[in-house]
Amino acid sequence: MRPAVRRALLVALMASGLAACGNGSGSDTPAPPPPPVVATPQENQFGANFATAYRAANTSAPITPADGDIIPLSLTTNPVNVG
C-alpha cells in the first residue's frame, strides 16, 4: 500500500474516533461541581474538649481535663504533622 493512501486511511480512522467521542446527541447540562473540601482543624484530632480549651481566650479560667479530653499516646500510630 502506498504511504499516501496509508496516511489518508489513518487520518480518516482518527477523525472517526474523535467524532465518536463527541457530545452530539448527549445533554448539554454540565456535571455538578464536586462538594467543597472542608479541612477539619488540627486541634479537633487531640481529644473531646481539647479544641474548646485550645480556642479559649487567654484570660478565661483554666479547664480541668476529663478522662476523654486527652488521648493516650501510642507508638504504633502515625504521627500528626504539627506546623
What region does 45 belong to: left with phi over 0, alpha with psi -120 to 50, or beta? alpha
- In this prediction, residue 41 carries a pLDDT of 79
Other CB atoms within a 10 A radius of the CB of residue 49 amount to 15
- Distance between CA 37 and CA 45 in Å, rounded? 17
- In this prediction, residue 24 carries a pLDDT of 58
- In this prediction, residue 23 carries a pLDDT of 59
Domain positions in the chain: 42-73
Per-residue pLDDT of the chain (83 residues; tens, 9 = 90+): 688 888 888 888 888 877 766 655 556 778 888 888 888 777 777 776 778 888 888 888 888 877 777 667 777 777 777 76
- Distance between CA 49 and CA 8 in Å, rounded? 71
pTM over 0.85: no
